[in-house]
Amino acid sequence: MQATSPARPRPASNFELYSWFFMRISAIVLFILALFHLVYMHLVIGLDAITFEIIAERWQSPGWRLFDLFLLVFGWIHGANGLRIVLDDYIHPQGWKVFVKSILYVVTFVLIVLGAYIIFTFRT
């Protein structure tokens, strides 16, 4: 960092500040939730043991449904926002940028809806 670098102009909106803050907070949440999820599903239960029956049993408990909902929302939004930054870095033509980001937002909407739908409505 150069001592003589000029002050940056104040951004018109605080969106990027909130985005930065959200990434840090969701990182801490996901550090606990996502690592627990991976270790629990792969070391405690084991991939081969996971079936429809096991997940149906898990969703008998509202606590697990809430846990999965948190994973879904925090995990995907953290990922989508991260990818938004990556796309900004590598895609320069304005038209392509808008196009690819639009796909990202549509996929985000669809997956959050599908995931939340099954978590909330699942009945055996």
Partner 1 sequence: MAAITNLFRAVTYRGREGQIAWMLHRIAGVGVFIFLAGHIFDIFLMAFGPEVFDTLLFFYHQFLFKLMIIFGLYLGVLYHALNGIRVVIIDFWPSMNKHQAGLWRVQMVIFALAYIPSAAIMLSRMFDGH
> 16, 40, 53, 57: which one contacts partner 1 (CB under 8 A)?
53
Coil, strand or helix: which one is 83?
helix
Gap between the Cα atoms of 66 and 74, Å rounded:
12
Name residues whose C-beta falls within 8 Å of residue 51's C-beta, 6 or more positions apart in sequence.
none
Minimum CB separation from partner 1 for residue 51, in Å?
Answer: 6
How would you label 46-61 residue by residue, b for 16+ Cβ within 10 Å and e otherwise? eeeeeeeeeeeeebee
Residues in contact with partner 1, shown as a per-residue x/- string from 55 to 74 under the rule CB under 8 A: xx-----------x---x--
Binding site for partner 1 (CB under 8 A): 24, 27-28, 30-31, 34-35, 38-39, 42-43, 46-53, 55-56, 68, 72, 75-76, 79-80, 82-83, 86, 107, 111, 114-115, 117-118, 121-122
